[in-house]
Structure formats: C-alpha cells, structure tokens
Amino acid sequence: MSNAEDAAGSAAHGEGETRRDFLLYATGAFGAVGAAAAVWPLISQMNPAADTLAASTTEVNIGPIAEGQSITVVWRGKPVFIRRRTKAEIAAAGKVDLADLPDPEADSKRVTKPEWLVVVGICTHLGCIPKGQRTGERRGDYGGWFCPCHGSHYDTSGRIRKGPAPRNLSIPEYKFVSDKLLQIG
C-alpha cells in the first residue's frame, strides 16, 4: 500500500514547481524590489543638482561681435575669452613654427572655425587673468594676451610664447549651435 500512496503523492505534487518553489521565488522578487528601493535614493543623491547642471553650459550670441573684437563671458565661474580674429591674426597664428613654442600646438587644433578663438582666460602659471581683452590694454609681444602677474605673453591663438607659463591657455569644450550662437560646455 505504501507504493500506491507514494504514487498518489507524487502525482498530487506534480513533477513541476510546488507551492514552496512559488513562495521562494515570490520572496526573492519582493526582496530584490525592496533592495532596489532602498539603494535608489543613495545613487540618486550622487547626481548633480539642477542649478549645477544649468551652470554647466553657457550660450553666447556671437552675432554682434565685430572682426578683431573680443568679449569675456563667465562659464563655471571662470572667464572665457571669445575673439573674432582678423585675417591677419589667423595668418600670423598659422605661420608660427611649432618648434619655437614651449607648448607646441598647431592653431588648427585649437579652433573649430579659424575666425573664432575660444579660450579660458586664466594664465596657466599661477591663475591670474591676462590683459588684452579690452581696447587699450597691453596685448603682449605677440598680439594676444599679456599676464601682468609674472609677464607671460600669449599669441592670437592663446599659445604661450614667452614667460613662465608652462602651457597654452586652455580650450573649453564648445560648439557652434548656429552661425550666431556658441555653446560652451
């Protein structure tokens, strides 16, 4: 009789999943959802705040900037120099022998459009702001910028030409949204 009971018992439980298996899967799924709900706020708090994201890019209307004119905008708390270069400035920047530069970099690698130069206006020596943005300010020996703190001279491509600065003026990430709109960041 025990053989008949064993056969009936195995037929009643079936060869597939049992109620115990269902409870095990349901508990595991409930635990996974609970763990995700507990971890989500911890991961979410690492995202930048909305005001930080808003400050990460700056759009500048470059339409009114005349050839040979420079403007300064603030991006991430830093001054950014935007210069609409003249044909003479572009030609002079392109003719420089890279072997003569302390930080060799071709002008074509520093600009997206030759007419526009966009650089972070902070001297790479000790962080002063170079002169040469305003009319009448000394532009240095190479027509670009001059840092009054320790005498670094930059050319019209923002490359260091003379003085203690170790590197060229840095180039921020930027793109032209349209012919008259520049987005920095």
Quote the pLDDT of residue 55: 65
Residues 32 and 68 in one domain: no
Quote the pLDDT of residue 37: 92
Q: Domain range for residue 92?
A: 53-184
Q: How far apart are CA 173 and CA 120, in angstroms?
A: 10
Residues 17 and 57 in one domain: no
What is the reported pTM? 0.70
Contact 86, 126 (CB under 8 A): no
Residues 61 and 25 in one domain: no
> Number of folded domains in the chain?
2
Residues 63 and 115 in one domain: yes
Q: How far apart are CA 6 and CA 80, in angstroms?
A: 84
125 among known catalytic residues: no
Quote the pLDDT of residue 114: 94
Quote the pLDDT of residue 43: 87
Tokens of 119: 């650089």
Q: What is the CATH number of the domain that holds 83?
A: 2.102.10.10
Name the catalytic one among 13, 125, 150, 153: 150
Q: Which regions of the chain are under pLDDT 70?
A: 1-16, 53-55
pLDDT for 4-25, tens place per residue?
555 445 445 556 678 888 889 9
Q: How far apart are CA 154 and CA 150, in angstroms?
A: 13
